[in-house]
């Protein structure tokens, strides 16, 4: 087995001269360029099965003349031109292992940076906590601090321990810091003990050959104050500060004075605690010191920057990881213009990088955009501000000062803030006092690049004043009925601007507004009335949001939201109705033909005026909605509707974002109106909700969504053009998200969905984008990322019910920064002072940083399911690129999220396609029903995905996976089908307080699809309350129903599995296997299960007792794997192989023979017609050293098992026994989920070289000189003897592994005269692949070498736990034999 992809927590980070970032992920050492923009450059697995916990560089003293000359030329340049030596020697350590690695950096030669292993793996007898080089010795000596408060002096050339010294206080250390000068006698060790103390001692005191090594060194200093164990220690020499991070959620800074140096100084006799920093919400894992600042990171997923001069206050919070916390932190030294890099590695497998600016005083200049401060804009106009708007250029480099702030007061005036001053722009008549609405927009002038800002103001009497802000005297007065104007909405159309005014009695009036202007005359407005919308009848009958779509086949379509919470679909020229009103009301709804000056005086417009007057027959037409989703956002109303890439997004005050689309259906009749006549939907268009996304707990008042910019290094290369492109496709007004979008109508025809759209690539449309949610959470205005579950911006504005504007937002994209303007208690407030340019708005130092690796799950992954594979499409040749094959999997975790991933095994690249956060508890099990589309088996996937877990909750989704030609990666659209909870019926009862509620802690432990139909499937679920339940899923009805349940087990049911049988007469039978904590496996005959879907009283139609039981384990059965094989014609029936793994660490394989009935009687559902008996049973009592968590069948006779002992084992099942044929120590802790499959072997896989170690790399390079035991766990493959597969004549299994299941590389050179280099690059008959590394610049981890197989297929194993690892299993000839 060999590793193809790895995602694990980052546990080590280190900067190299502000030019490179080194990372440790499992045993893999990776390097990243920092300039000109961060990207991966090299990677190599160096520590075998140990996890890297530290990287210590040793800077080379020798520099070539060319490099020295280049350094002089580049002196004073920016960080983008650092002077680097050609190579760096690194000491990499973790667990009980240390290894030397050389990092080659040859930028002048144009070579790719790469790693080289210098020596064998040096294994220690204790855990290494810190390693440092001794600079004063000519030899390569390492000083190592180990966990039992000891220090080692290690010769890295020979691997011999030269000296070992222990402290007199022999306690266990959780952290250690070595302060090394030139010699062993100068070393000072600072240890964080298990007793919550810091101890300082000198391991080199009296370090001579005559000194007894058993003599222990005394404690020199003791620092007491923490109430928890100490996880991290840092020292700043120039200040004499020592910082410690603890389990008690605090960081303490101590004034210890000078430590280390010549003669090993131990600082002051009585060190004082200078600061106690509390700010983290959980344990603090890492701490780093800089002049004037302290950096700390912890389990709460935040990196806090503390200002020392400000009394230890938090000046910035850097967030970017999901749940699980930050496991590694690194801060660069800072050179050149004072920039400083900050890197964090998370438990979610994510890696983020920030660039910190320093001001002239040396303090970190970081603006905490998460919690903004407020500035009063000092409004000086008449009256009290009621509405605030913003128009003008929105340049991120200049701040918002170039924009214009527009305010409408209760005195009917419009004031403008520009150049630091307030001035009145327009004053209305008394009708505009007390109550007024205002909305602004920007329109481009015809035949000109100039733009003009328009303002519309409405009042209680139905009047609407529209005027240019620069020329308010040129405005026009419109009338929208005789009642109150509830809302005003500007909407851009193809050629001009459309104004919507929601009046009384559900009427929405529309006008097209045009601007004509030349240099010699003031601008003039042209107005063209359009047919009005008629909203459905209801108590709150006015419009709150609207967006216009354009379709070449349907003309203009409008999607609107009203105050009742409904979503409506209108069509220009669609369903119409004549007004049944008198002439007085009709005339009141028309254009009055009057102009208003900026002083409020009214002027009548003559025949030659600029106002285009349309007649009554045009304005009398009313448009009714084609489709209505009544009250989907609750009674508090819809707040916004927007469109992006063919999908629609709506928000409301119910705390939900709904993603929906326009669906074309067959013509149908609408509801009958009051006149008794039915209306027909001639357009055949409907709105269909795809899925619902909730915000964080307590955030119910949502305002809108903003598309999140892509921030991966590969995508940032085209960031400037990308941002403009996003803006063009998402242009909208600030509040109502108005834009002109391209509609992608879905046509339903004979049960199949086909995408229709514009002439451009429709594959890129109809896919959900990542978005941020903005709204109000208590008294804060919040920008919330639902995927990372973090606040991007928080402003204490006082809560909802106020007018506000967010800058910048004209493009509908969240750029990573923003400023909020709002009205509070009669004042205009801003979260950013005027004229201040945001330093975090600049690309080089923006607040959101760079995401070098996207995180997956913050906590453990409990289940995994493979959905299928798709092949990349060549956009030029329109053909599939077979060498670029992506595997699609779904994972569920303890962080309550469900993630859809795409993995490319040939290069190890992993792409997160979608993150679903609908579960309220952990996701424990997931299953899928895949139906490849006809003729598109390798191009797209359509999957019905079911997930279940805690709180007896089940979710069902339809996933549409295709190829994104724009991003050149797979894409996924999630459609929410249905959800179900057992306690839903109880919560609906009126007298529920008088009844006993079902167990609220019931968990769904395992789920499997028993039967499937075109519109749904039948599911079997194992539950923690001892029940086995059957559910039906209907995609048409969008519901999940409980059909049947049994409490036969009376214990927690841990696992369920199903298989389908078919006799020679084509009669089908279905068996369900369930296993509980008592070690028994029950077999249920569900042959008549299909009748449960149609029979109303279905609970009595299936037997309440199983037809067969097996005692397989002594305790709980965690996993089941089932496979059915037909027997010979003369034997009849079939044989079912049941592989199970349990808490007792045992692997059991049971062979069950099933006899079919000669004359099936389907009319007797309570009696099983199948005859089952146990044919044979094989056990491996100690298959793993801990409970077996997952078992799968890779082929008919190959079983794959995994356990929390971090081993993945291969077993060969024969007719009489089970043989162990291989094992691999994986890099995933707490392995819980397993997925296996057989796949194709592409040409790219065959030709790819490996970046993981071979056996020859770990051979002893210096023979008997080394005093350490050198072992090797092969990460490439297991070289098994031919007899292992074909079995020897005597039937004995040939051992190819050690007692622990791991191959051992002996300490000797079998070839005698070979040099270590020759061993490293050996290409003998051992079948090992090439060992030279080839970098994947996207993934940053090497792809494995592939064996030269002729079969064209290979096996794949995906192990999930604290991360995941994809393993390739070479398909041996022995697989096929039974």
* Arithmetic mean of pLDDT, 630-646: 91
CA distance 800 to 796: 11
Are 823 and 386 in contact, with CB atoms under 8 Å apart? yes
Helix H or strand E segment including 721: helix 719-729
Give me the pLDDT at residue 486, please: 93
For the chain, percent of residues with pLDDT exceeding 90: 32
Give me the pLDDT at residue 776, please: 93
Q: CA-CA-CA-CA torsion for 705, 707, 709, 712, nearest 10 degrees?
A: 100
The overall average pLDDT reported for the chain is 76
Nearby residues of 601 by Cβ (< 8 Å), 6 or more positions away:
none
Q: Is the pLDDT of residue 620 over 80?
A: no
For the chain, percent of residues with pLDDT exceeding 70: 71
Lowest mean pLDDT among 237-246, 836-845, 875-884: 836-845
User: What SS3 class is residue 486?
Assistant: coil
Q: How confident is the model at residue 1007 (pLDDT cuts 50, 70, 90)?
A: very high
Q: Is the pLDDT of residue 281 over 60?
A: yes
Q: Is the pLDDT of residue 1336 over 60?
A: no
* Residue pLDDT, tens place only, 1295-1310: 333 333 333 333 333 3
State the alpha helices, DSSP H only, in 799-851: none
**Would you give the end-to-end CA distance of the chain in angstroms?**
21
Helix H or strand E segment including 1296: none
Supply the DSSP symbol for 996: P
Are 1089 and 1070 in contact, with CB atoms under 8 Å apart? yes
Nearby residues of 664 by Cβ (< 8 Å), 6 or more positions away:
684, 685, 686, 745, 746, 747, 748, 756
Give me the pLDDT at residue 1116, please: 92
Q: How confident is the model at residue 184 (pLDDT cuts 50, 70, 90)?
A: confident
Q: Is the pLDDT of residue 578 over 50?
A: no
Are 525 and 474 in contact, with CB atoms under 8 Å apart? yes
Give me the pLDDT at residue 449, please: 73
User: What SS3 class is residue 1061?
Assistant: strand
CA distance 422 to 201: 67
Are 482 and 474 in contact, with CB atoms under 8 Å apart? no
CA distance 199 to 201: 7
* Arithmetic mean of pLDDT, 367-394: 77
Q: Which two tokens stand for residue 1330?
A: 């090439």
Q: By C-alpha distance, which of 1334, 1353, 1083, 1365 is closest to 1194? A: 1353
List the beta bridge partners of residue 923: 949
Give me the pLDDT at residue 532, please: 92
If you search the block for the tokens 């506000």, which residue do you land on? Answer: 804
Q: By C-alpha distance, which of 1210, 1219, 1157, 1145 is closest to 1183? A: 1145
Q: Which two tokens stand for residue 1261?
A: 């390079």
Q: How confident is the model at residue 705 (pLDDT cuts 50, 70, 90)?
A: very high
If you search the block for the tokens 């909208």, which residue do you land on? Answer: 732
Q: Is the pLDDT of residue 1087 over 90?
A: no
CA distance 949 to 1022: 10
1119 vs 522, 640, 788, 799, 1187, CA distance in Å?
79, 47, 31, 50, 11
* Arithmetic mean of pLDDT, 691-702: 89
Q: Is the pLDDT of residue 928 over 90?
A: yes
CA distance 660 to 646: 10
Q: Is the pLDDT of residue 188 over 60?
A: yes
Q: Is the pLDDT of residue 1265 over 90?
A: no
* Arithmetic mean of pLDDT, 647-657: 92
Give me the pLDDT at residue 485, please: 93
Are 46 and 101 in contact, with CB atoms under 8 Å apart? yes
Q: Is the pLDDT of residue 685 over 60?
A: yes
Give me the pLDDT at residue 1352, please: 59
Give me the pLDDT at residue 334, please: 73
Lowest mean pLDDT among 260-264, 470-474, 522-526: 260-264
Phi, psi dihedrals of residue 25, rounded to the nearest 5°:
-130, 105
If you search the block for the tokens 């600029």, which residue do you land on? Answer: 610
Nearby residues of 829 by Cβ (< 8 Å), 6 or more positions away:
374, 375, 376, 377, 797, 821, 822, 823
CA distance 1033 to 921: 21
Are 1061 and 1073 in contact, with CB atoms under 8 Å apart? no
Torsion-angle region of residue 299: left (phi > 0), alpha (psi -120 to 50) or beta? alpha
924 vs 225, 676, 898, 920, 1377, CA distance in Å?
41, 53, 10, 12, 35
Q: Which two tokens stand for residue 1139?
A: 């592989």
CA distance 1197 to 1174: 18
Q: Which is it for strands 97-104 and 87-94: parallel, antiparallel or unpaired? A: antiparallel
CA distance 487 to 501: 6
Q: Is the pLDDT of residue 1146 over 50?
A: yes
User: What SS3 class is residue 388?
Assistant: strand
Q: By C-alpha distance, which of 918, 947, 644, 640 is closest to 768? A: 644
User: What SS3 class is residue 27?
Assistant: coil
Q: By C-alpha distance, which of 1151, 1164, 1158 is closest to 1102? A: 1164
Q: CA-CA-CA-CA torsion for 1091, 1093, 1096, 1098, nearest 10 degrees?
A: 60
List the beta bridge partners of residue 956: 946, 978
Give me the pLDDT at residue 443, please: 85
Give me the pLDDT at residue 1340, please: 35
User: What SS3 class is residue 377?
Assistant: coil
User: What SS3 class is residue 514?
Assistant: strand
Q: Is the pLDDT of residue 720 over 80?
A: no
CA distance 903 to 892: 16
CA distance 1053 to 1022: 5
* Arithmetic mean of pLDDT, 485-502: 87
Are 767 and 972 in contact, with CB atoms under 8 Å apart? yes
């Amino acid at each position: 087995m060999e590793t193809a992809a790895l995602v694990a927590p980052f546990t080590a980070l280190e900067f190299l001269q502000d030019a490179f970032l080194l990372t440790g992920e499992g045993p893999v050492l990776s390097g990243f360029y920092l300039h000109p923009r961060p990207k991966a450059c090299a990677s190599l697995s160096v520590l075998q099965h140990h996890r890297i916990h530290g990287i210590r560089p040793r800077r080379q003293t020798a520099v070539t003349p060319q490099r020295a000359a280049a350094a002089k030329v580049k002196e004073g340049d920016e960080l983008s031109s650092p002077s680097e030596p050609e190579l760096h020697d690194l000491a990499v350590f973790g667990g009980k292992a240390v290894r030397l690695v050389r990092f080659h950096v040859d930028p002048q030669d144009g070579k790719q940076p790469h790693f080289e292993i210098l020596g064998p793996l040096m294994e220690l007898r204790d855990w290494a906590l810190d390693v440092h080089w001794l600079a004063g010795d000519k030899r390569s000596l390492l000083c190592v601090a180990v966990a039992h408060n000891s220090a080692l002096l290690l010769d890295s050339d020979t691997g011999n321990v030269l000296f070992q010294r222990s402290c007199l206080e022999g306690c266990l250390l959780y952290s250690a810091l070595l302060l090394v000068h030139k010699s062993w006698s100068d070393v000072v060790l600072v240890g964080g003990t298990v007793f919550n103390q810091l101890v300082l001692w000198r391991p080199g005191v009296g370090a001579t050959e005559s000194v007894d090594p058993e003599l222990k060194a005394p404690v020199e200093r003791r620092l007491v104050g923490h109430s928890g164990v100490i996880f991290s220690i840092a020292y700043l020499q120039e200040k004499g500060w020592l910082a410690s991070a603890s389990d008690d959620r605090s960081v303490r800074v101590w004034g210890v004075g000078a430590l280390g140096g010549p003669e090993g100084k131990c600082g002051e006799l009585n060190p004082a605690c200078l600061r106690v920093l509390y700010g983290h919400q959980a344990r603090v894992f890492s701490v780093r010191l800089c002049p004037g600042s302290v950096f700390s990171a912890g389990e709460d997923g935040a990196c806090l920057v503390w200002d020392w001069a400000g009394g230890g206050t938090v000046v910035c919070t850097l967030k970017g990881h999901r749940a699980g916390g930050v496991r590694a932190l690194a801060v660069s030294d800072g050179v050149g213009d004072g920039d400083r890099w900050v890197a964090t590695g998370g438990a979610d497998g994510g890696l983020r990088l920030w660039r910190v600016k320093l001001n002239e005083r040396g303090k970190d200049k970081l603006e905490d955009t998460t919690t903004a401060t407020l500035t009063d804009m000092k409004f000086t106009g008449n009256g009290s501000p009621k509405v605030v708007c913003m128009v003008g250029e929105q340049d991120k480099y200049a701040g918002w000062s170039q924009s214009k702030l527009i305010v409408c007061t209760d005195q009917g005036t419009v004031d403008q803030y520009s150049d630091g001053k307030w001035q009145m722009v327009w004053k209305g008549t008394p009708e505009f006092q007390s109550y007024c609405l205002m909305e602004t927009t920007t329109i481009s002038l015809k035949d000109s690049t100039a733009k003009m800002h328009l303002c519309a103001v409405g009042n209680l009497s139905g009047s609407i004043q529209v005027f240019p802000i620069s020329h308010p005297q040129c405005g026009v007065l419109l009338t929208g009925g005789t009642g109150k104007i509830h809302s005003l909405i500007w909407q851009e159309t193809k050629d001009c601007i459309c104004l919507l005014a929601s009046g009384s009695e559900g009427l929405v009036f529309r006008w097209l507004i045009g601007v004509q202007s030349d240099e010699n005359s003031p601008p003039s407005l042209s107005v063209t009335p359009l047919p009005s919308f008629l909203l459905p009848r209801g108590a709150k009958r006015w419009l709150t949001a609207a967006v216009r779509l354009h379709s070449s086949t349907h003309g203009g379509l409008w999607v609107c939201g009203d105050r009742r919470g409904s979503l409506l679909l209108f069509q220009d020229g669609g369903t119409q109705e004549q007004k049944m009103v008198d002439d007085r009301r009709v005339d009141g709804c028309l254009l009055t033909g009057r102009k208003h000056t900026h002083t409020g005086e009214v002027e009548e417009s003559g025949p030659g005026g600029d106002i285009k007057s349309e007649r009554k027959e045009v304005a009398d037409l009313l448009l009714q909605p084609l489709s209505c989703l009544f009250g989907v956002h609750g009674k508090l109303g819809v707040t916004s509707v927007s469109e992006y890439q063919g999908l629609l997004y709506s928000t409301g005050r119910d705390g939900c974002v709904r993603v929906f689309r326009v669906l074309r259906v067959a013509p149908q009749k609408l509801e009958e109106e009051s006149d008794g006549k039915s209306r027909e939907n001639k357009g055949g268009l409907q709105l269909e909700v795809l899925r619902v996304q909730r915000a964080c707990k307590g955030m119910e008042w949502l305002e809108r969504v903003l598309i999140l910019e892509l921030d991966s290094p590969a995508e940032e290369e085209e960031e400037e053009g990308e941002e403009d492109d996003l803006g063009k496709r998402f242009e909208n007004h600030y509040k109502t998200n108005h834009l002109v979008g391209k509609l992608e109508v879905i046509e339903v025809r004979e049960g199949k969905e086909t995408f229709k759209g514009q002439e451009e690539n429709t594959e890129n449309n109809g896919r959900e984008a990542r978005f941020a949610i903005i709204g109000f959470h208590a008294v804060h205005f919040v920008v919330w990322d639902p995927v990372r579950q973090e606040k991007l911006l928080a402003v204490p504005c006082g809560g909802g019910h106020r007018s506000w504007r967010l800058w910048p937002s004209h493009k509908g994209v969240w750029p990573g920064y923003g400023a909020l303007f709002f009205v509070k208690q009669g004042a205009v407030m801003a979260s950013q002072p005027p004229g201040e340019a945001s330093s975090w708005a600049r690309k080089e130092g923006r607040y959101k940083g760079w995401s070098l690796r996207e995180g997956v799950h913050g906590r453990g992954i409990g289940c995994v399911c493979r959905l299928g594979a798709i092949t990349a499409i060549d956009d030029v040749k329109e053909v599939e690129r077979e060498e670029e094959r992506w595997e699609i999997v779904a994972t569920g975790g303890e962080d309550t999220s469900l993630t859809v991933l795409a993995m490319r095994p040939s290069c190890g690249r992993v792409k997160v396609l979608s993150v679903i956060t609908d579960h309220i508890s952990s996701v424990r099990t997931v299953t899928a029903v895949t139906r490849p589309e006809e003729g598109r088996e390798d191009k797209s996937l359509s999957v019905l995905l079911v997930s279940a877990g805690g709180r007896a909750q089940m979710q069902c989704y339809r996933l549409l996976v295709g190829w994104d030609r724009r991003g050149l990666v797979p894409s996924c659209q999630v459609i929410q089908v249905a959800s179900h909870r057992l306690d839903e019926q109880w919560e609906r009862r009126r007298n529920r307080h008088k009844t006993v509620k079902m167990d609220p802690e019931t968990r769904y432990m395992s789920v499997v699809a028993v039967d499937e139909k075109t519109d749904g499937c039948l599911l079997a679920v194992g539950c923690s309350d001892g029940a086995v339940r059957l559910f039906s899923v209907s995609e048409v009805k969008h519901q999940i129903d409980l059909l049947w349940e049994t409490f036969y087990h009376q214990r927690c049911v841990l696992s369920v599995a199903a298989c389908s049988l078919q006799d020679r007469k084509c009669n089908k039978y279905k068996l369900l296997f369930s296993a509980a904590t008592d070690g028994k496996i029950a077999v249920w005959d569900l042959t008549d299960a299909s009748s449960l879907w149609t029979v109303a009283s279905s609970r009595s139609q299936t037997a309440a007792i199983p037809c067969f039981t097996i005692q397989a384990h002594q305790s709980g059965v965690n996993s089941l794997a089932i496979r059915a094989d037909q027997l010979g014609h003369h034997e009849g029936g079939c044989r079912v192989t049941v592989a199970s793994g349990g808490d007792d660490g045992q692997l059991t394989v049971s062979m069950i023979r099933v006899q079919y009935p000669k004359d099936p009687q389907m009319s007797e559902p309570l009696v099983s017609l199948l005859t089952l008996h146990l044919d044979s049973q094989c056990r491996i009592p100690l298959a793993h050293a801990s409970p077996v968590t997952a078992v799968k069948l890779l082929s008919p006779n190959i079983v794959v098992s995994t356990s929390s002992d971090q081993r993945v084992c291969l077993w060969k099942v024969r007719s009489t026994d089970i043989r162990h044929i291989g094992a691999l120590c994986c890099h995933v802790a707490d392995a819980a989920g397993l997925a296996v499959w057989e796949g194709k072997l592409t040409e790219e896989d065959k030709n790819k070289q490996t970046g993981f170690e071979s056996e020859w790399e770990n051979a002893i390079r210096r023979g008997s000189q080394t005093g350490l035991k050198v072992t090797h766990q092969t990460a490439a493959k297991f070289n098994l003897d031919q007899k292992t597969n074909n079995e020897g004549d005597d039937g004995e299994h040939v051992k190819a592994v050690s007692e622990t299941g791991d191959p051992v590389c002996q300490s000797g050179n079998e070839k005698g005269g070979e040099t270590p280099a020759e061993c490293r690059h050996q290409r003998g008959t051992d079948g090992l692949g090439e060992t030279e590394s080839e970098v994947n610049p996207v993934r940053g981890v090497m792809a494995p070498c592939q064996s030269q197989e002729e079969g064209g297929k290979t096996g794949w194993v995906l192990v999930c736990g604290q991360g995941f690892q994809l393993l390739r299993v070479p398909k041996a000839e022995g697989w096929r034999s039974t």
